[in-house]
């Protein structure tokens, strides 16, 4: 364990982690933006384009969630830097939301899905971005 921690603490790795957090913050903001952009078409149309975009956004969200899962795993070695859990994992918020989104997708309740994206997912992604910002600051402090 200590060996692994030492490995992680190498400056180049710290840099890589910091960079990936910057990327993840960009992704979180971008995802919040593109999901928001697609809400209106999703409420108004039933075109192929709307569903292609939605499916692409969901795939990107999946990648982001994959990264966040890895990040949470890595943070265990630093006792989470004393930060509260990230908003998506806090009290299963993300899990509950994704289940609701899945269920509205399955029942083709596009209004419900739009609502969940507009009023739940996008704000959650923006809060996740803020949390990632705090994490980045903590890592900088730790590194210094």
Partner 1 sequence: MSFENNISALRQTDGELAEILSNRRGVSHVEVVNTKKNIPSLRVNNISLHSLYDPVKEAEAWVKFYKGDIDKEASIYVFGFGLGYHLQELCRVTDRLVTVFEPSIDVLRKAFETVELTSVLSRIKIITDCSIPALNHRFSVLHHKPSVTLNREYFDDIHAKLRSREAIRRGLRILVVSPIYGGSLPVAGYCSSSLIKMGHTVELIDNSRFGDALFYAKDISENRQRYNSMLNHLSSFISEAVTARCETFRPDLVLALAQAPLAAGCLDNLRRKKVTTAYWFVEDFRFMEYWKNIAGHYDFFFTIQKGQFFNELQGAGIKNYHYLPMAACPDIHKPGRLSEDEMKYYGSDLSFVGAGYYNRRQFMRGLLDFDFKIWGSDWDLHSDLARCIQRGGARIDTDEIVKIFNASKININLHSSTYHKGINPFGDFINPRTFEIMACGGFQLTDRRPALDGLFEAGEEIIVFDDLGDLRSKAAYYLDHPEERNMIAQRGRQIVLREHTYENRMKEMIEVIAARGLRQPLWPDEGEEVEGLIEEAGRDSELGKYLYRFPGKRKITLSDITDEISRTEGEISGTEGIFMLMNEFVR
Q: Tally Cβ neighbours within 10 Å of residue 62.
A: 10
Q: Please report whether residue 122 would count as binding partner 1 according to CB under 8 A.
A: no
Q: Please report whether residue 13 would count as binding partner 1 according to CB under 8 A.
A: no
Q: Please report whether residue 97 would count as binding partner 1 according to CB under 8 A.
A: no
First to last CA, the chain: 22
CA distance 93 to 89: 6
Q: Please report whether residue 114 would count as binding partner 1 according to CB under 8 A.
A: yes
Binding to partner 1 (CB under 8 A) within 23-42 occurs at 40
CB of 82 to partner 1, least distance (A): 34
Q: Please report whether residue 110 would count as binding partner 1 according to CB under 8 A.
A: yes
> Closest by alpha carbon to 116, among 97, 91, 92?
97
Phi, psi angles (nearest 5°) of residue 4:
-65, -45
Q: Please report whether residue 19 would count as binding partner 1 according to CB under 8 A.
A: no
Between residues 60 and 118, which has the closer beta carbon with respect to partner 1?
118
> Closest by alpha carbon to 105, among 88, 124, 121?
121
CB of 121 to partner 1, least distance (A): 12
Which residues contact partner 1 by CB under 8 A?
40, 43-46, 107-112, 114-115, 118-119
């Amino acid at each position: 364990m200590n060996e692994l921690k030492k490995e992680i603490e190498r400056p180049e790795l710290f840099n890589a982690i910091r960079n990936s957090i910057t990327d993840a913050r960009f992704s979180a903001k971008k995802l919040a933006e593109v999901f928001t952009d697609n809400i209106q078409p999703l409420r108004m149309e039933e075109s192929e384009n709307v569903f292609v975009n939605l499916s692409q956004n969901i795939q990107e969200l999946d990648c982001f969630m994959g990264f966040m899962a890895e990040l949470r795993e890595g943070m265990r070695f630093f006792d989470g830097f004393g930060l509260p859990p990230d908003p998506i994992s806090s009290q299963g918020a993300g899990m509950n939301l994704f289940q609701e989104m899945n269920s509205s997708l399955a029942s083709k309740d596009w209004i419900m899905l739009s609502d969940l994206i507009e009023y739940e997912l996008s704000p959650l992604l923006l809060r996740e971005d803020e949390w990632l910002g705090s994490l980045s600051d903590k890592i900088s402090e730790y590194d210094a």
